[in-house]
Amino acid sequence: MQRYIGDRNFYRRVFAILLPILIQNVITNFVSMLDNIMVGQVGTEPMSGVAIVNQLIFVFNLCTLGGLSGAGILTAQYYGKRDQEGIRQTIRVKLLIGLVILVVFTGVLLTFGDVFIGLFLHEGESGLNLEATLHYAEEYMDVMLLQLVPFVITMLYSSTLRETGETVLPMKAGLIAVLVNLVFNYVLIFGKFGAPALGVVGAAIATVLARVVEMTIMIVWTHRHTERNPYIIGVYRSIRVSGDVLRKVILLGFPLLVNELLWSGGMTVLNQCYSLRGLEVVSAMNIYSTISNVFFSAFIATGNATAIMVGQLLGAGELERAVDEDRKLIAFAFALSLILSALMALTAPFFPRIYNTIPEVKQLATRILLVSALMMPMHAYANSCYFTLRSGGKTLITFIFDSGSLWLISIPAAFIIGHYTDIPILPFYIIVEGLNLIKCVIGYAMVRQRQWVVNLVGEKQT
């Protein structure tokens, strides 16, 4: 058991990294849930319209994170090596990648946004208004496009701060941002304190304001505390990036970017397949994802802690210690998932009742939450394997593991069931989600092979 359980010092370091990220993610997702509930009070059609657009924004968000992650792997290892110029160069590459993703996605959503929204609109058994849902979605998306710019800049700064050991500031900035979002949601959605009742448009405006506040805090703090962030000095005086760094970022980052694009796009395709069973399913899946994200925040935080701790050890050349601590981190994530699984199952019947929607949607959301709770340990283990493989720069293997399993196993099954059978949505969902067990087996084999145990920054960069 000592191979899987660390000492006090180990867990002290884990929680020092994990807790600020976890607190930020939990509060962000909790406020997102409150935001979702507020929109849900307006009606089922507005809630569904917002859910569809957020599914599209989700693809952009993950592509941005994936695009920055390749450079982020190097940032963590350069920090372990104490190479400030190497960190500066990874920041410059992150900025360039973020701007390219921003331009491409903005153009795509402006041109084809209505087409994508229409793919999710299907008649169900409850007679929900598809035309009204489309109208709400279009209104919401027009404003939400404005938050893409501050999101990219915020992710650039927050990812770099975390990779260099500063996890508290991103947490604080995130907390302030979600409070701004919550207050303005209440004021603008319902028209409080003399403001007009803007509904879904108000929710979008609140999100934009929150993103701008978070971005401003990140930029100001980082540049004012140069003694703690020496790499930020002169980072934008030049656009210079050595050929070696650029080559490594491309080799590491391109598979991650493609992976996040295919994974987030694949999840969107899965939800589109589920939506074939009616607009009620879109609403129920929206409630489920919003609530489950609060619980799944723990695995995102644990995954980030794994990437940071293992990445820094690899960069410092402590390869065997990296293997040992990674094994303990995976065991920690699995044990945590058992606790959260029970908690999610116990609370599943209560959260959907808060929403102002039809009984069929509430009942379906509850059942999906219960199924997801039972499958949580499986997802926690797969997530830990993903971040382990990524920490050592084996991004091509990560790509095959993550997106390969989704597109080669889950999506074909969902497409066949959705288009060629009459299987109800709940067993439909159980079958598709259960196929992730195959991913866990693949992840176990990949981690055991230790091909991810690599020091990427062993030589000084010029």
Distance CA 239, CA 242 (A): 10
- Model pLDDT, residue 460: 42
Task: Using a pLDDT cut of 70, give the percent of the chain over it.
Answer: 96
- Model pLDDT, residue 168: 86
Mean pLDDT of the chain: 87
Give the confidence band of 462 by pLDDT, cuts at 50, 70, 90.
very low
Residue 172 has pLDDT above 60, yes or no: yes
Q: Which residues of 413-450 are buried (b: 16+ CB within 10 A; e: fewer)?
A: bbbebbeeeeeebbebbbebbebbeebbebbeebbeee
Token representation of residue 347 = 């609370």
Q: Which residues of 160-180 are buried (b: 16+ CB within 10 A; e: fewer)?
A: bbbbbebbbbbbbbbbebbeb
- Model pLDDT, residue 127: 61
412 lies in some domain: yes
Among 412, 392, 368, smallest CA distance to 280 is for: 368
| Per-residue pLDDT tens digits for 237-282 | 888 888 888 888 888 778 777 877 888 888 889 989 998 988 888 8
Give the residue-averaged pLDDT of 106-130: 83
- Model pLDDT, residue 32: 67
Give the confidence band of 455 by pLDDT, cuts at 50, 70, 90.
confident
Residue 459 has pLDDT above 80, yes or no: no
455 lies in some domain: no
1 lies in some domain: no
2 lies in some domain: no
**Domains identified in the chain, total number:** 1
| Cα pseudo-dihedral 289, 293, 296, 298, rounded to 10 | 180
458 lies in some domain: no
Task: Using a pLDDT cut of 90, give the percent of the chain over it.
Answer: 39
456 lies in some domain: no
| Per-residue pLDDT tens digits for 190-228 | 999 999 999 999 999 999 999 999 999 999 999 999 999
Among 83, 179, 73, 88, smallest CA distance to 455 is for: 73
361 lies in some domain: yes
* 126: DSSP letter: S
Residue 125 has pLDDT above 70, yes or no: no
297 lies in some domain: yes
Range of the domain at 221: 8-449
How much is the pTM?
Answer: 0.74
Give the residue-averaged pLDDT of 319-337: 91
